[in-house]
Amino acid sequence: MKITFKSIYSSIIYILILLGCYFLIKNIPSFTPPILFVIEYSPYVIFGLGIILCIRFNQGRVFLIILLLILFDLILRYYSELSITVQTYSQILYPLMCLLIPLNIVIISHFKERGIFSLWGKIRILFILIELFVIYKIVISNHPTIHKLLNYQFVKLPIEKAFMNQTALLIYLITLLFFIIKAYVKKNAFEVRLAGVMISIFAALFFINDQLSFSIFLSAAGFMLIVGIIQDSYSMAYLDELTGIPSRRALRENLMKLGNRYVIAMIDIDFFKKFNDKYGHDVGDDVLKLVASQLIKVTGGGKAFRYGGEEFTILFPGKTIEDVIPHLENLREQVSKTGYTYTRKPSKSQTSKSKRGNTTSQLFVTISIGVCEKNSKFKDPQEVIKGADKALYRAKKKGRNCVSK
């Protein structure tokens, strides 16, 4: 649910950015010349900031998209300096750009993150540069066949002459639906972000003959990518990569915000090392995710964090031990009832003797919980954590799968 909320929250941000673009365009007549100058060249400032952030946080895919948009913008803006006539621009260059921008973004979205200046990163940058060189050669050739292909009409649409060829319209629609569906299925903020970027670029190309409106929507696409970089860097810093719940760094910051009354619970998965050795690290990682998915549902005002390894922490601000024990008992019971579906693949010898395929079984784990509250004996968060650790040790001595204070 929290990942879904994150995607919805991201969608709201991008919708607000698009609404901001509409507000700016409506108020263009009231702006002074210096403000209009800033608006016209704002994409380069925003893209430049995006590139700096991409290099700082090693965001290879976003870097490629920004690089792509910068180069395409420069070509569309300064095509006359490249010895391209107005007729060639309208009949070949612009329709070709409308086709290739969404296709390139879809391809880049499928890349694995390999960094910017790695071998793979350099190859991808080189591919974009080669692509632009090929585009330039195609445009300069001005072949009638290319013109016919780019401006092919499936149906008669009056909007076509003033805006974009039908093939590009279809590609944009398919691309937008692709990112929306992928965002819904994968619950991934990156796809939500790209859907917003596609809408911004589409609007920018719609206003291609209005330089200020074009710059506003192109800047919006860059701003969305920058917001995404900030969101991703926050996730890397404060969320555990494996389980998706807040990490130990986030725990340290939350400990500093605690008042005079709070409870800290330390949780450990029982016999996790034996479980890991028996079923393998991949299954062990899945079990950690499974347990984490239950811990974030803890009631009583608790907030779960991954402490390290198979250990987790839950903070209960403003609570006493008597307040939180029932909620921790319910949590312990819920974890013990939640099964992990394990698929066992037969070995080669078993496969040769039997025609049976993979077999599935339900695996269950339990947790032990130690809990401690702030009092005259445990005066600060670190002492309370130590007290919870000792209580966790007592829970293990009692036979595990229990809560101890």
Domain spans of the chain? 2-238, 248-404
| Burial 27-41, CB ≥16 within 10 A → b, else e | eeeeeeeeeeeebbe
* pLDDT for the residue numbered 62: 95
Q: Classify residue 85 by burial, with Cβ atoms within 10 Å: 0-12, 13-18, 19+.
A: middle
- Global confidence as pTM: 0.75
pLDDT, one tens digit for every residue, the chain (405 residues): 444 455 566 678 889 999 999 999 999 999 999 999 999 999 999 999 999 999 998 899 999 999 999 999 999 989 989 889 998 898 889 989 999 999 999 999 999 888 898 999 999 999 999 999 999 999 998 888 887 787 777 766 655 454 677 888 889 999 999 998 988 887 777 888 899 999 999 999 989 889 999 999 999 999 999 998 988 888 888 888 888 899 999 999 999 888 889 999 999 999 888 888 888 888 889 999 999 999 999 999 999 999 988 999 999 999 999 999 999 999 999 999 988 887 766 655 555 555 555 677 788 899 999 999 999 888 899 999 999 999 999 999 999 999 998
Torsion region of 300: left, alpha or beta (phi above 0 gives left; psi -120 to 50 gives alpha): left
* pLDDT for the residue numbered 133: 92
Nearest alpha-carbon partner for 100 in 130, 80, 77: 130
Quick one: how far is CA 278 from the chain centroid? 33
* pLDDT for the residue numbered 370: 94
User: First CA to last CA across the chain, in angstroms?
Assistant: 31
Q: Residue 113 corresponds to which tokens in the numbers above?
A: 């993150």
Q: Contact, 122 vs 72, CB < 8 A?
A: no
Q: Contact, 400 vs 366, CB < 8 A?
A: yes
DSSP letters, 24-67, are HHHTGGGS-HHHHHHHHTHHHHHHHHHHHHHHHHT-HHHHHHHH
Q: Contact, 247 vs 305, CB < 8 A?
A: yes
- Using alpha carbons, list the distances in angstroms from residue 184 to 3, 304, 361: 11, 25, 29
Q: How many CA atoms lie within 13 A of 129 on its CB side?
A: 6
User: Residue 164 and residue 270: Cα distance in Å, rounded?
Assistant: 61
User: Residue 283 and residue 276: Cα distance in Å, rounded?
Assistant: 7
* pLDDT for the residue numbered 160: 47
* pLDDT for the residue numbered 131: 92
Summarised one tens digit per residue, pLDDT across range 336-385 is 998 888 776 665 555 555 555 567 778 889 999 999 999 988 889 999 99
The architecture in CATH of the region 248-404 reads: 2-Layer Sandwich (3.30)
User: Residue 79 and residue 86: Cα distance in Å, rounded?
Assistant: 9
